[in-house]
Structure 1
Amino acid sequence: MRKGQSEIRMIWLMVLIIVGVGSWFLDVRVFTYLCGLAFVMSVMQYVDAIQTPAVKIAAETNLSVQETSKVPLYLSSIVALVGGAMEWGFVVGLGITAWIFFFLRWLRRLEGLLTQIQTRLQHTPMNLSSTVENPPPQPAESQTASASLELIDQLKQWIFQGNPVLKAAILVLVMGIVLLLRFATEHWQLSLALKLAIVASVSAAVTALGYWFQTKNRSFALALEGLGLAALFLTLFFAYYNAVIPTLAMAALCFAVIMGVTLALSLKQQSIELALMAMIIAYIAPFTLPVRNATAIELTAYYVVINLAVAVLSTLRPWKILNQIAFLMTVIVGGGYAFYQGEEQQRNTLTFLVIVHTAIFVWLSFRFSQLIAKEDLTQFKLKPALDIALIFGAPIIGYIFIYLMHFEEMLWQAGASLAFAVVYAGLYQLSKRNQAVQLISQSYFSLMLIFLAVIPPILLSEQWSVIGWAVEGLVIFTYALYRRSEISRYLAMGLLIVAGLSSLYYLVELNEFPREMYWGLCLSYFAVVLVANSQASFRSQLSNSTIAFHCLQMLSATTMLIVLLLDEIDGSHQLVMSLLMVSGLYLLMNEVLLRCKATWTWLFPKWLGLIPVFVFAFIMVIDQSKQGIIVWESTFDRVGFAFSGLMLTALWLRPMLGVRMEKEWVSFGTLTSLAMTSLTLVPSMPYISVVILPLLFCAWCYWQVDNPDWKMFWQARTSLVLMATWIICSQLFTQQAFQGYILPIINPFDLVSIAMLAGFIWMLSLQLKTGLDKGIVAVLIVLSLLWLSSYIVLRALHMYLGTPFNQLALWEDGTVQLSLTLLWVGLAFMTMSIASRKQLRSVWILGGSILVIVTLKLVLFDLSHIGTLTRVISFLGAGFVMLVIAYIAPIPEGGKTNPSSRPSP
């Protein structure tokens, strides 16, 4: 596994290098910068993956570990990225040089740690508490492995075992034969009949040669026989479609002869490999023709002949893999081709051919179960994948083809359902006498019930048939839960899917919006999820696939409900009333299911079902926004929207089990719901209003010392992303930053910004407990602190001195640059002095990072973009503060970490 991971990592790094270099030469520099950043982060992650187990071993062997901060690496990466974006070559080179220096220092320390571990382990005696046991004997090879292996295992064995050179040679020769036939058809000057006769003679000779080799080298002989038979199939097709064989009857006779030879050789030599090679070539032969494409009827009829040959083989030998390949090729290749090439006038003929194919596969599944039961009555076991597909898939897919070809003909659909039900009733009576195949007999009985169940909805007209499908699916799903019938449950899910897909068709076809149809479908979907979660015995039967199906049901049902309510409700309060009703319905369902003690089987469908509600609420906010503020049309709309947000918040927080199970989803949904409600508090200042309730909730969670679940809520990365998004976007895009402005900090926007910064830093401290790297946390703290404090200063300067604000001109303004320099140096001074007194080395490095940024700013901007006096003051002020820092706040000594703790690299 580790070797595979290392190879994947190397491939990933090579891809980044290739894409980055290619983007550079194509003059798409942004991709180069992104690839470079990804390369840097990947390399750091890979080295960290090596250091983590090394630190753990060092702790176990009582070795001291020197802490290495990755903050300089992150800062160097940011400097190089910014320099590349601004096209400053000197800055890019400086960032890359610094990154290489700090990275090599990290590798040097890691090398020293590994050397210490190796030395310690060499001097530590090994305690072998257990003796080496003899390896268990290898199991004997099964004589009937090829008959019992699954399809995938059989293919793997045939492809990867044995003689791979021989198999590759056969594949290449088959391709060569196809090319030879195409070339001979188009270019050779001999008569086409003579050309094809030569190829056929050679192919027959190769087959005979392979049969002669059968006693000497079985695998080589079978390969030759398969090659010869494949070439005969291909030659026959070229001869018929180039009119060398003039009639279909003669071509069919030749094909029957070749197929008969194939069957005889396969049965006589007990070789499934030979049958596989010949059958696969026979299936793909029509697609090698250079002259014209086969019609849908020709291909489907031709596949009937091949499947009849497979039926003969499977009647005599239990070669399950042949049945599986025949089924897959017929459905995927034959069915797809028929729908692509089929025409309206061919519908009846194609229907007959579909019935013939279905009958063949029904017989194959029945006969296969009998043969297996006769061979081993004690070990018979139905495999759940392709065996089930043969029993259930063949009739169901055949019926689907008939249903779609006669979509508007009720009698055809109902008649086909009744016919299939009668057939499987007869098979059930035949198979139930054999105790070894009771599972298969029950499957036949289930199929009979399935085809009987689809008749009533078919007999309903237009949109009422959709309601019939949905209601019947609900009834059968409920019955399946009471009877613990997995087959019935999947039948109900199929009926509900058919109802949903049919509703889309009638939505397009009908002249008016079919509200009755969608009301029935919507309520049925909701009812299925409610019933499934109403009892503990029902919930225990729900698999992951069923839960995923319920999630899609809730998503669809919620979307339909919103559209239906908008269609039913008229008036000025249409949007808010719809939002209130949907939120209230969800709250009611949630409370009912909580009383039923529903757990995660309800939580995941509920969360996914709430997505359309949030999208709808977002559209409402956008619709109410005008010139950067929210203008509610009435007090009712404002209060109703707030109440909906509170109901959605309760939905996410009840039960608290959701926080422990999936804190990312719950935190995102809860904060979004609180932000919805908070938007209604101060609509004239939306950027302030949107975070009032989230900040109050954050403060409340901070003081919940006795309940760690609330702090776990804020450890989610989604909460961190939402907070960071507000910190960036609010400063850049708000249009109400100066409303109520009294003094710097003594104004609404600055106070809210400081509160958000405090919450963001607290959340970052919680992120350390979830394993987030300390270096990333330190960089985020520095950047957020500089970002918000700089904007506080920029707003004050703009308010009192009229300097530019949120314009590119501020980089040319000397007063702005001087103020930012002094601010950043002051922050570095406070941070480093506190860290020096408290002996907090990591905090001191944090302050030092600010000084690095100040130094870059002095060199890049103050030196060339501002006036003489402000430039002198910037340099003198920054230098003086740095001198003071060097005197009163030296770097704390790097202590040795506790061996029992895991340091950050």
Structure 2
Amino acid sequence: MPKGQSEIRIIWLMVLTIVAVVAWFFDLKVVTYLCGLAFVMSVMHYVDALQQPLTNLATQQQISVQFTSKVPLYISSIVAIIGMSLNWSWLIGLGLTCWIFFFLRWLRRLERYVQQIQSRLQHVVSPVVLQNDLNTATSPPSHSSHSEITLLEQIKQWIFQGNPVLKVAVLVLVVGIILLLRFATEHWQLSLAVKLALVAAVSLVVTGFGVFLQRKNRSFSLALEGLGLAGLFLTLFFAYYNHIIPHIYSASLYFAVIMLLTLYLSLKQQSIELALMAMIIAAAAPFTLPVRDANAVEFVAYYLVINVCVAILTTLRPWKILNQIAFLMTVIVAGSYAFVHGHLQERDTLALLVSAHTAVFIWLGFRFSQLLAKQDVEQFKLKPALDIALIFGAPIVGYIFLYLMYFEKTLWQAGLSLAFAALFAVLYSLAKRNQSVYLISQSYFSLALIFISLIPPILLENEWSVIGWAIEGVLIFVFALYRHSTISRYLAIALLIVAGLFSLYYWVDLAYFPTTMYWLLSLSYVAVVVIANTHEKFQKQITSSTIAFFSLLLIAATSMLLLLLLDYFDGQHQYVLALLGVSLTYVVLNEVLLRCKATWSWLIPKWVGVIPLYFFALIFVINRSHLGEIVWHSQFERLGMAIAGILLSVLWLRPSASVKLEKEWVSLGTLLSLALTSLSLVPTMPYISIMILPLVFCAWCYSQKQNPDWRIFWQTRSSLALVLLWIICSQLFSQHAFEYYVLPVLNPFDLISIAILAGFIWMLSLQLEQDMDRGVIAVLSVLSVLWLSSYVVLRALHIYFQTPYNELAIWGNATIQLSFTLLWVSLAFVTMNYASQKHLRPLWILGGSILMLVTLKLVLLDLSHIGTLTRVISFLGAGFVMLIIAYIAPIPEAESKALKS
């Protein structure tokens, strides 16, 4: 098992334990029980994951190993769950005790089998081979000395490598300085100026002492210098915001002196660590103030000074990581602060400051291209994920801030776009002279085109600007496909996202519903997906991230088209017409694109895009439900729902090759579509109606023995979950289970239940081919048989003896419990007798599990809650049948013993 997965499992178990304990103390016992159940299932799955490799290894080495069945564990879990539901503490304790016993026995046998396999391998594999494998397994992986260090790796080195005690000490001392300054401000009897002067003097001495130790211990020296500079920064802030330094100009002068000292020491000692430490302390200093918060202009201006110092450092030294961290801090910290604390009257000043920040980072990107042209390629490599992201990110983020600040001034926004485009056109003309930075020069050219492309939509008014964004996004996406331009494709994606976001704004802001805007926006989204799949050379350019974006586009387009068609059609048929219209559109597009040989770039977005249709149909069916029936307002609605389900089924089944490749998705969608169609057959009994066509489809797939590919539908976990959901919900919530009741079994609900049970057992048998845990299959088989057969008897008793039905009173009713006992024992008898005759040991164990449940029921329930006569009959009847089973249906021998005999 991979180390990462093992650690995740352990963390998951710890989280469950903590949540369970906390919930218990807060008297949330339901949460505790759920966490306990999740813990039990997770531990069993965890140990099963350990057992599986041993099974494979034993098979390879031809070692006869029979692992213990997990059926007793599942039965113990079920007993504990029943105790939780009935609030019987003694039953919970019994279930948990049995579970712990069987689990420990399972682990003990697992350990014994591990020892057997190890002893067998020691005789087969030579010691030399084992030693070589051990050396190979324990040798650390080699890394190239020339490998590039990423931003994350660099941060890990600074945090976890070197002298960790020294780093922790510096961090603790910085916090101590902050606390000291707060304490001095509030409590010391000396004047505040004297207090801060003493702290500044000590900080300056510490910095000087660090410079003095530079030649003896570089790491310790840099730590002292960073600590001293941090003290100076913090002291300056406390002095200014406590009005010891009264003027902003004086404070700025002192701050510039400290920053110049920091720059000098960093450049002289070639220490990026010192520069990074000083930059982070300076950025965090405003949040340590005890008196008042800085306003937005002060805060953004302060960060501008930090960025200017970073620009000076990285202009002289190729320390790209300072640019990246400074950019992230500016956008996240300064941008968030200005958004929260900014005021409308400060807009012009903030716009100038944002422009200055943007200019600094644009300069850093340009300077980076110059350094790249001078440096050796092996020493200074380009990393598009970080460097190109910074080149694009800084101007685009700056433009977004400025755009939002002047959201209603379209002419100003258009002029801003033109200015940015002109700036990057100039930078492109300067950068293209160096052939070694071709990629960066093309980035400047792309930025110039991006800002020019923003001008036409900006000049349009209100919802027409959204239409402009969408149409331009489609055109640029088509251009990107023809020119194989990745940057243009990303630009088109950004424009389409902007169009969607602004459409939500105008939906809320405008006094009327912008129908034209949403029609064109939804058609633009659909057009992008369709055009990208019409040609093979287009499909080759589509990446997994683009497919995910297509999926989101179709979800949005489907939702918008449904709402637009609802608005377009009037009358009681508008829901069905909207559903039919969108479904038919998908089917037509699917056939067209299949002729264009579209593959996953269409199939996955198609499957995701139809999800809103199912939610829409579910809401519509719920709206038409009354007293457990579906009341259609007209035959057209009923027929339209059936046609819509058929269209969706065709959509999932075309192409048929996708069934093998994505069987879970296709099975889920097909069965839901058939169920939707089937609802229109018998609307007065929806729980019966919903399963008619799926059952017919199941029978047809079972009959296709010459073409077993159709059975894939029923090998999926999704189909198993859907059928299991029907088995549970239909018996509990159906209000028409007694319609047309003639005799037990000879009535519609019992017949459909037995048919579903047969299909479910067949599906469980198919799960054996999918390596599903045999214990889970056995437990589901037993519970499904007991559940449905018990309800058949329960309905019969309710008809003939007026016993309770779907009430808690059934657990105390003597007639019901006696019937359950005799029914379960009979099922066990039939199962075990058949298994004994056919020598099917697993089936016999299945019947034995039913017999064990009967025994538990007799001891735990019948012994205390049932009248005398029925209790006697229950025990005598169960005991008599068990006696017969013991005589005529003994347990079949294991396969290994049978072979030996």
> Could you say which TM-score interval applies, normalised by the shorter chain?
over 0.9
2:808 is the counterpart of 1:811: no
Shift of 1:196: 1.1
- How big is the shift at 1:403? 0.3
Corresponding position of 1:309: 309
Letter of the aligned partner of 2:188 in structure 1? W
Distance verdict in 2 for CA 1:812–1:141, change over 3 Å: closer
* Secondary structure of residue in 2 paired with 1:123: helix
Partner AA of 2:192 in structure 1: L
Query: How much does 1:397 deviate?
Result: 0.6
User: What amino acid is the match of 2:896?
Assistant: K
Alignment of 1:163-242 (within 5 A): 163-242=163-242
**Structure-1 residue corresponding to 2:862:** 862
| In structure 1, distance between residues paired with 2:359 and 2:26 | 59
CA distance in 2, matches of 1:303, 1:41: 52
Find out whether 1:102 has 2:108 as its counterpart: no
In structure 2, the partner of 1:397 is 397
Instruction: Tell me by how many angstroms 1:84 deviates.
Output: 3.0
The match for 2:896 is 896
Q: Evaluate the alpha carbon distance shift between residue 604 and residue 818 of structure 1 in structure 2; reply closer, same or farther with a 3 A threshold.
A: same
Mean Cα deviation higher: 582-591 or 26-35: 26-35
> What is aligned with 2:743?
743
Q: Which residue of 1 aligns with 2:257?
A: 257
Q: Indicate conservation of the 8 Å contact 1:150/1:321, yes or no.
A: no
How far residue 493 of structure 1 moved from its aligned partner, in angstroms, is 0.5
Q: CA deviation at 1:785?
A: 0.5
Structure 2: distance between partners of 1:371 and 1:111? 61
Deviates more, 1:549-558 or 1:9-18: 9-18
Q: Which moved more, 1:41-50 or 1:531-540?
A: 41-50
CA drift at 1:33 = 2.5
CA 1:878/1:159 → structure 2, altered by over 3 Å: closer, same or farther? same
Structure 1 CA distance, aligned partners of 2:343 and 2:90? 69
| 1:59 to 2:59 alignment | yes
What code does the residue aligned with 1:156 have? K
Cα distance per residue 1:484-504 (max 9 Å; x no partner)? 000000000010111011111
Aligned residues: 895
* C-alpha distance in 1 between matches for 2:270 and 2:884: 92
Give the equivalent residue in structure 2 for 1:488. Answer: 488
Counterpart in 1 of 2:670?
670
Structure 1 residue aligned with 2:76: 76
Further displaced range: 175-184 or 13-22: 13-22
Alpha-carbon distance between aligned partners in 1 of 2:362 and 2:586, rounded to the nearest angstrom: 46
Alpha-carbon separation, structure 2, partners of 1:130 and 1:795: 66
Q: Which moved more, 1:3-12 or 1:40-49?
A: 3-12
- Cα deviations by residue, 1:367-393 (Å, 9 ceiling, x for unpaired): 012112201157754212221222101
| Kept after mapping to 1: 8 A contact 2:738/2:749 | yes
In structure 2, the residue matched to 1:300 is 300
Secondary structure, in 3 states, of the residue corresponding to 2:865? coil
Provide structure 1 residue ranges, at least 5 long, that are not aligned to the other structure.
Answer: 900-905
Aligned residues of 2:388 and 2:440 also touching (Cα < 8 A): no
**Percent identity of the aligned residues?**
67
In the TM superposition, what is the alpha-carbon distance from 1:121 to its structure 2 partner? 2.5
- Note if contact 1:768-1:774 (Cα within 8 Å) is conserved in structure 2: yes
| Cα distance, 1:561–1:832 mapped onto 2, change above 3 Å | same
Moved more, 514-523 or 796-805: 796-805
Corresponding position of 1:47: 47
Mapped to 1, the partners of 2:713 and 2:402 lie a distance apart of 53
- Which residue identity lines up with residue 313 of structure 1 in the other structure? L
Tell me if the contact between 1:463 and 1:503 (Cα under 8 Å) persists in the aligned partners.
Answer: yes
Match of residue 515 from structure 1: 515
CA displacement, residues 593-642 of structure 1 (integer Å, 9 cap, x when unaligned) = 11111111111111111111111111110111111111111111111110
**What residue number does 2:275 align with?**
275
Larger relative CO (CA 8 A, sep 6+): 1 or 2? 1
Partner SS, residue 214 of structure 2 = helix
Q: Cα–Cα, structure 1 residues 85 and 769, in superposed 2: closer, same or farther, change >3 Å?
A: same
Paired amino acid for 1:667: S
Describe the superposition over 1:793-842 as per-residue Cα deviations: whole angstroms up to 9, x where unpaired. 11122222322222233333322222221111110100010111111111
| Distance (whole Å) between structure 2 residues aligned to residue 330 and residue 576 of structure 1 | 52
- Under a length normalisation based on structure 2, what TM-score does the superposition of the two structures give? 0.96
Which range moves more in the overlay, 352-361 or 67-76? 67-76
Describe how 1:364-513 pairs up with structure 2 within 5 A.
364-377=364-377, 381-513=381-513
Higher deviation after alignment, 544-553 or 673-682: 544-553
Deviations 1:262-281 (A, max 9, x none): 11111111111111111111
Contact kept, 8 Å, 2:323 with 2:364, in 1: the verdict is: yes
Residue 903 of structure 1 is matched in structure 2 by: none
* Residues 639-681 of structure 1: per-residue CA shift (max 9 Å, x gap): 1110000000111111123322322222111111101100001
The 1:631–1:169 alpha-carbon spacing in structure 2 relative to 1, beyond 3 Å, is same
Task: Name 1:571's counterpart in structure 2.
Answer: 571
Q: Distance in 1 between matches of 2:334 and 2:97?
A: 62
Say whether the 8 Å CA contact 2:667–2:713 is kept in structure 1.
yes
- In structure 2, what is the equivalent of residue 334 of structure 1? 334
Give the CA deviation at 1:749.
1.0
1:349-373 CA distance string (max 9 Å, x none): 1111111111111000100121122
Aligned residue for 1:876?
876
Cα distance in 1, alignment partners of residues 53 and 362 from structure 2: 57
Taking a change above 3 Å as real, the CA distance of residues 761 and 302 of structure 1, as seen in their structure-2 partners, is same
Supply the RMSD in Å over aligned alpha carbons.
2.2
Instruction: Supply the distance in 2 between the matched residues of 1:654 and 1:593 (Cα, whole angstroms).
Output: 11
2:325 alignment counterpart: 325
Q: How is 1:473-872 mapped onto 2 (pairs within 5 angstroms)?
A: 473-872=473-872
Q: Is the 8 A contact 2:372 2:437 kept in 1?
A: no
SS at match of 2:383: coil
Which letter maps to 1:440?
I
Query: Per-residue CA shift, 1:235-272, capped at 9, x if unaligned?
Result: 11111111111111111111111111111111111111
2:360 matches 1:349: no
> Helix, strand or coil: the match of 1:632?
coil
| TM-score relative to the length of structure 1 | 0.96
Shift of 1:55: 2.4
1:371 counterpart SS class: helix
Does the aligned pair in 1 maintain the 2:470–2:499 contact within 8 Å? yes
Measured after TM superposition, the shift of residue 46 of structure 1 is 2.9
- Asked if structure 2 preserves the Cα contact closer than 8 Å seen for 1:65 and 1:896, the reply is no
- CA apart distance, 1:127: 8.0
Amino acid at match of 1:224: L
- TM-superposed CA distance for 1:576, in Å, is 0.7
**Which whole-Å CA distance do the structure 2 matches of 1:569 and 1:121 have between them?**
74
Deviation track 1:406-425 (CA, whole Å, cap 9, x = no partner) reads 00001110010000000000
2: CA distance, partners of 1:547 / 1:140 = 35
| Structure 2, unpaired ranges of 5+ | none
Deviation of 1:112 after TM superposition, in Å, equals 3.0
What is the alpha-carbon distance in structure 2 between the residues aligned to residue 68 and residue 856 of structure 1?
22
Q: Report the Cα distance in structure 1 between the residues aligned to 2:69 and 2:811, rounded to whole angstroms.
A: 32
Query: More deviation in 415-424 or 787-796?
Result: 787-796
Decide whether aligned partners of structure 1 residues 279 and 20 sit closer, same or farther in structure 2, where only a CA change above 3 A counts: closer
